[in-house]
Structure 1
Amino acid sequence: MRKLLAILVVVVPFLMTGCQAPAQRNAAQPVVKQMNVNGVSLTYLEQGQGVPVVFVHGAISDHRAWNYQRDAVARDYRFVALDQRYFGTGVWPTDGSKFSVATHIDDLAAFIRGLNAGPVHVVGWSYSGGIVLGLALRNPSLVRSIFVYEPGSLAALVTESADVETMKGESKGLAPVMTASKAGDVAGAVRQMLDWVGNQSGVFDTLAPPIRSMLMDNARTLPLMFAAPPPPPISCAALGGLKMPVAIAVGQSTRSYYKILSETANRCIPGSRLVVIPNARHLAPFENPSAFNDAVLAFLKQH
């Protein structure tokens, strides 16, 4: 069960609801670029100038997951959002055998070095939460600060028996996602995952068309996630050694699964800040982008 829960913590995290994107406010236009990283070409989007803030997307998504944050951040910073390996709309020439949290940590480190801009602020969400924290542990000189919303890939941190049992119980609702994915029905798996994350049926059909397109563009990654090796272990003691500023954010109305992960990670990092996003669940960057952006920007301005 522990192994299954670890897999689910990697797969489940992410997602979003279909609100309308904020109006364009920044005169600078976004630019899509490519960077060669560890033998592959990664797509990324940039907008704005100043200290870089690197946004790392979660599961079944890509750099478009951060479109609701882009303009707000690019007013004062160099907004950078990348497509991690195997994600996005490009054709990947490999069979996905290297899909793993470890691969994505290595790629992120090489990507930030390739920016050649010194240490950067890093923002993660869900699946990428463990990636961002893993990056900070392995390559602290690359990271100026960390803001993570409801981090995934950290099931090993949860040791309180009541919390472990709660997460096991909640994770049972993901069985249909795994079944559909293994059967090759990745589109159905995406829909069922959204139902679990949104805690109601039919969530996918309420999303804005661009969001639905992004989800289906990345549905092909679900089987890769289920087949991936466990993430590199991150201990509470290791997180306690982080020296850069860290904020762990959580939705006010999020389900217990994510609340436990977020609060546990926060307790492990002395001096970290637990930020509660009002009127939001796991989909805060889309459910309440104004409050989410305010929280990110307030943190960045202090560091």
Structure 2
Amino acid sequence: MTTQPQTPQLHKAKVKLLEPLQGIAYVDAGEGDAVVFVHGSMCDWRYWLPQLSGMAESHWVVAPSLRHFFPRLPSSIGRPFSWADHRDQLAQFLAKLQSPRLHLVGHSRGACVAYQLALAHPQLIDSLTLVDPGGPAKDAGSDGTMPLETVLLREKAVSLIEEGHVDEGLKIFVDSVSRPGFWDRSNAFFQDMARDNAQTLAPQMNDPLPFYIESEAAGIACPALIVDGERSPTPYRHNAELLGEWMPNARRLTMTGASHGMTITHAQRFNRELTAFLRDASKT
């Protein structure tokens, strides 16, 4: 399946209290072992609607919106925008879920947040799935520095958004993390979601993601599925290749014909592959 699905009926978001005056918005469906999905840049829980509707028959699927993302809760005001804060917020959320098993899935920036949670709180999860993991990696072939062209493109995207040319800025950013033309081919559901989160791009650019480091990755002992798209930009594929080698219990999957938005554009196959992995992971 290579076309974007029709927009599923939107679920009403819930709010779970994490600490006094601090909460997290999330959507869930189904029953069974929990599968928690962590969105990436310019997205929110709605990014995972194909999984919420496609995997609820076999699992309790849960999709939170990280702090500052839609729907931006009043408790976000005054809080930092940082991957570390998102990791800690997510850890608080997972600790409050009552499930026999808990599987964590992250996409892009959300994969980096999920990975950092696995390092800091391994006791909270039973498996880890990283889809086109974002962020820099330290290895013999790269120092993890973002190419200057990418930096300039994203700075231009931020400037356009701040000047009120939101769609122009989003087009530049989305095409840079997927493929040229992806924004124009995206359906109204995806574009509306990105518009709702456009204000997060500027603070994100001031919050560099941490490095993937071999010695740390080697310490993640839980079953892991590392996914990349055949047509995803090189940095994501490079990260997936390295993590697949470094993590001792990792399984690799490349989605043929897919790019960065594979969980939407190739949702049926992704759901099928993820369900099979979770079934195997639950046996360990």
Tell me, yes or no, whether TM beats 0.5.
yes
For 1:18 and 1:224, how far apart are their aligned partners in 2? 32
CA distance in 2, matches of 1:74, 1:142: 21
1:22 to 1:181, Cα distance in 2 relative to 1, 3 A: closer
Q: What is the match of residue 193 of structure 1?
A: 173
Name the structure 2 match of 1:302.
Answer: 280
1:179: how far off?
2.5
SS state of the match for residue 131, structure 1?
helix
TM-superposed deviation, 1:194: 1.6
Change (3 A) 1:18 1:82: farther
Q: Any idea what the Cα deviations from partners look like across 1:245-303, whole Å, max 9, x if unmatched?
A: 01100112222221111111211111211111121011111221111111111111112
Q: 1:96 to 1:23 in 2, by over 3 A?
A: closer
Aligned with 2:156 (options 172, 176, 179): 179
1:37 to 2, 14, 18: 18
- Report the AA paired with residue 155 of structure 2: M
Contact 2:39 2:107 in 1 (8 A): yes
The answer to whether structure 1 residue 20 and structure 2 residue 1 are counterparts is: no
Does 1:242 find its partner at 2:220?
yes
Residue in structure 2 matching 1:76, options 50, 58, 62:
58
Matched, 1:269 2:254: no
Structure 2 alignment gaps of length 5 or more: none
Deviation at 1:119, TM superposition (A): 4.3
**2:23 and 2:75 in contact (8 A); partners too:** no
**Residues 143-292 of structure 1 correspond to what in structure 2 (within 5 A)?**
143-153=125-135, 155=136, 157-161=137-141, 163-164=142-143, 168-169=146-147, 172-182=149-159, 184-185=162-163, 187=166, 188-201=168-181, 203-228=182-207, 230-292=208-270
Q: Which consecutive unaligned segments of at least 5 residues does structure 1 have?
A: 1-16
1:208 corresponds to which letter in structure 2?
N
Conserved 8 A contact 2:227-2:240 = yes
Distance change >3 Å, CA 89–CA 73, structure 1 → 2: same
2:91 aligned residue: 109
Give TM-score, length-normalised by structure 2.
0.88
What's the % identity of the aligned pairs?
A: 25
Q: Given residue 261 of structure 1, which amino acid in structure 2 is its aligned partner?
A: N
Are the aligned partners of 1:178 and 1:189 in contact in 2 as well (CA < 8 Å)?
A: no
Q: CA deviation at 1:234?
A: 4.6
One-letter amino acid of the counterpart of residue 176, structure 2: W
Q: 1:185 to 1:91 in 2, by over 3 A?
A: farther
Distance 1:232 1:199 in 2: 24
> Number of residues paired by the alignment?
276
CA contact (8 A) 2:65 2:71 kept: no
| AA at the equivalent of 1:42 | I
Cross-structure match for 2:33: 51
- SS of residue paired to 2:126: strand
Give me the whole-angstrom Cα distance separating, in 2, the residues matched to 1:237 and 1:207: 39
Q: Give the drift of 1:89.
A: 2.7
Q: What is the TM-score with the length of structure 1 in the denominator?
A: 0.83
Partners of 1:54 and 1:79 within 8 A in 2: yes
